[in-house]
A and B are shown apart, each in its own frame.
With several copies, the nearest count.
Chain A
């Protein structure tokens, strides 16, 4: 079920005690631990210093590590990203914060033409251990440009790893691994989960790594495939379905690139039905890749077409209407109902 990828060995200190942290706190803790362990780690972005970031994820880091380690930059995303490329070329491990998905777009050329390609174009001589943290997706009542889901742009760009945690524990462990990775990682932090809490064991990075999907809930009738902010939606749908006597399995991808074909195929083959749940607009989005792969690889196990429950193909709507855009528990259940059970 877990990955075929071996993670780069991180020298994790002996795991500390388990704590209950919010996702935001877990990320803060991961940054703090990385800054403390490795002097080449730098945090940079807009308002990451005294303010601690607009989501307070970098709270206290400048106070603890100084303004040279947690750095407020000028307000220019392409500049930040390009600056990070140079830092990484010269021995640093920059962790960049983009304030919101949509405000990373000015850096798109730097990401696609340099961050993603540097290792390849130099035949491995220049590696860019950059992590780009992006407060990601919607569901928080944000006004326009504050709720985009940009994973499909990045996942389609060879050379980037793309990761989206759905629990505080994953947020901690995957971010530690991302910072330790020699490859650039786009690290998508579901905004609406910043305040969700869970058990985290700081220092413990031994769980399934980047590249591994995990089964969050066992089930036998159909498989829900989700990631990031859609995992709780899938889990809730499975809970409701259980009351109706239907057993839904939930797979959390965790890592979009590398993608865990083995785990996903095994899951879908065990149930014969699949629904992909993702918050981004569906058309030509990442969910299409999941659906296409499952269709290609599990064709003969499928009792029904792979369904997608995604954001609508419209610009992210204003707060008062966002509930109609988001993949809801009801929509997931409707899709499950549609999986041609009469044929079964």
Chain B
């Protein structure tokens, strides 16, 4: 911890405070990420997104993950990390395509070096190691930052990925956002270790803990881990202590498994208010600057809202186009079948009959 919950610098941390301009940049990103979370949740309520796993409360981690990386580096996000994806420069609308229900991944992973959102837990971690290893084989200075949650550390793939990274000395930083729950299951059912950072020991991977609601500490610790990985010191494990302020997704009911008091206690450790207090106290942030930052965030929210509200009819042909580099004869047959059905439907609806003509007869 470099900043206390009240935003005052503390001596508890070991690192040095990042320069004010980095914190200010981070502040703007956190404000944007917070606004993005709110906007996405609103879009769920309006039925525009199928589902949204919010990172509300975890924005410092989201922002730090993007901020410590160079352009050539790679980010491996989970379903909860759309704010990090957007902070890395991916169009925030494209980052939500999966959750809107249009397609499984919206953005081009190569454009900003951001892997598709991973849903099967921990499965993206060995991918991250492979990407890093390929870069190292070619002598490229790439670092890969791979995100996962506390729950995902229990999966076999977490183990195998950390071990591969250690054995191949791959430049991967594993950032565990320990938000204390895997849906409803508390950390105590996930591990009996003193911390998740301790998991590094069994792989020969340095592990560090950091206050995940303290952007200053995150930039220092994560930035250090990225630098060490880039310098050839092999993989690094960082556990960020944070909290998921909202339910797992809109479909979840968090009151079933945690108390209001527990949630309230974390309000006092909010990553945004803490950073803002510090920056204001330091005189780096004033009302004018804050207003400008808020306006930028509002602009992002507007862009997101408009983008998501714009209905792009997904192209049925896409169902068949990308299963293989070229469709099999079997897929060509099925594509023809669907084309034919759609043509018949269109003809029928041209004749002012509803789509599902036969079923209609029953209603």
Chain A residues in the interface with B (C-beta under 8 A): 4-6, 8, 46-47, 49-52, 54, 68, 72-79, 81-92, 94, 102-103, 105-106, 109-110, 113-114, 117-127, 141-146, 158-159, 161, 181-183, 211, 236, 239-240, 243, 257-262, 283, 312-315, 317-321, 324-325, 328-331, 333
Q: Is the CB of B361 within 8 A of A113?
A: no
Q: Is the CB of A51 within 8 A of B257?
A: yes
Question: Within the complex, which residue of B134, B138, B160 is in contact with A78, where a contact is CB–CB below 8 Å?
Answer: B160
B319 contacts chain A at the CB level, 8 A cutoff? yes
B125 contacts chain A at the CB level, 8 A cutoff? yes
Q: Is the CB of A330 within 8 A of B358?
A: yes
B98 contacts chain A at the CB level, 8 A cutoff? yes
Residue of A nearest to B318 (CB): A123
Question: Within the complex, which residue of B115, B120, B190, B256 is in contact with A109, where a contact is CB–CB below 8 Å?
Answer: B120
Within 8 A of A (CB), among B308-324: 314, 316, 318-324
Question: Within the complex, which residue of A54, A85, A117 is in contact with B183, where a contact is CB–CB below 8 Å?
Answer: A54
Q: Is the CB of A79 within 8 A of B319?
A: no
Give how many B residues have a beta carbon under 8 Å from the other chain's beta carbons: 79
Task: Chain A residues near B130: list those with CB within 8 A.
Answer: 82-90, 94
Residue of B nearest to A262 (CB): B329
Can you pick out 29 interface pairs between chain A and chain B where the beta carbons lie within 8 Å of each other? A49-B257, A50-B256, A51-B184, A51-B253, A74-B167, A74-B189, A78-B126, A82-B125, A82-B157, A83-B129, A90-B134, A92-B134, A102-B120, A103-B121, A106-B157, A114-B127, A121-B104, A126-B116, A143-B101, A145-B119, A259-B329, A312-B338, A313-B331, A314-B319, A320-B101, A320-B102, A321-B319, A329-B356, A330-B358
How many angstroms from the CA of A331 to the CA of B155 in the assembled complex? 40
Task: Chain B residues near A50: list those with CB within 8 A.
Answer: 184, 256-257
Question: Within the complex, which residue of A75, A86, A312 is in contact with B134, where a contact is CB–CB below 8 Å?
Answer: A86
Q: Is the CB of A106 within 8 A of B116?
A: no
Q: Is the CB of B163 within 8 A of A79?
A: yes
How many angstroms from the CA of A82 to the CA of B330 in the assembled complex? 28
B151 contacts chain A at the CB level, 8 A cutoff? yes
Chain B residues in the interface with A (C-beta under 8 A): 50-51, 98-99, 101-105, 108-110, 115-116, 119-121, 123, 125-135, 137-138, 151-152, 154-157, 159-161, 163-164, 167, 182-185, 189-191, 251-253, 256-257, 314, 316, 318-326, 328-331, 334, 338, 341, 356-359, 361-362
Task: Chain B residues near A120: list those with CB within 8 A.
Answer: 104, 322-323
How many angstroms from the CA of A74 to the CA of B164 in the assembled complex? 7
Q: Is the CB of B358 within 8 A of A240?
A: yes
Q: Is the CB of B329 within 8 A of A82?
A: no
Q: Is the CB of B156 within 8 A of A54?
A: no
How many angstroms from the CA of A72 to the CA of B119 in the assembled complex? 20
Q: Is the CB of B358 within 8 A of A75?
A: no
Q: Is the CB of A47 within 8 A of B160?
A: no
Given contacts A82-B125, A82-B157, contact A91 B325 (CB under 8 A): no
How many angstroms from the CA of A329 to the CA of B359 in the assembled complex? 7
Q: Is the CB of A79 within 8 A of B185?
A: no
Q: Is the CB of B325 within 8 A of A119?
A: yes
